[in-house]
Structure 1
Amino acid sequence: MNLTIPYSIYSIAVSSPITPSEPLPPLPDIPRGSLVIVEGRAPIWRYGMALHKLHASSAAAIAFYDPRLGAVVVATHSREWQVGQVVDITLPAEK
């Protein structure tokens, strides 16, 4: 599946060890009904915190990016998306 619908990238990457008290970055602009793709090298608990923060957003679905697979949908409020669905997308390589 090639991604032709509106989507936003939410990077939660960190470059050094952090603690859970470190705040997440601000959310990107999220068009109503879009897919939000969370990406970046970060501890697993930071991904959980990002999912919680995005739950109340206007996104139709939330996916976590895996460079080997693409974006994997982990939560949805839309019949267009299924949890576990893999979206064929390649994000730019981390610098």
Structure 2
Amino acid sequence: MTGAADGAYALWEAEYDKAYDNPSAVHTQACAGCGERCLHLMFVVDAGQPEKGRPLFWCSNCNRGIFLCRTDIPEGAERISKEQADDVPNYQVVIPT
């Protein structure tokens, strides 16, 4: 993941909140950056704590997303291992300005 300054961080946070509340519908949400419906939400899980994970939230169209701290994983969310996280694209991280 690489950094990119963006004044629209709050929009990304709002989309993340929607995705967190209903992970199975993330593919129906419009990207805060490009407007396409290409969002992904996955949680990188540590073997010792399967109920918590580091969220990866990005758009596969514009290759941008946000980075968030570890959190509880909502029911129905996709969980991946650290090794599987290597397959996630190196998206540009939208940062708060």
- TM-score bin, normalised by smaller chain: 0.3 to 0.5
TM-score, normalisation: structure 2: 0.34
TM-score, normalisation: structure 1: 0.34
Which protein, 1 or 2, shows the higher relative CO under an 8 Å CA cutoff with sep ≥ 6? Answer: 2
Structure with higher strand content = 2
Structure with higher helix content = 2
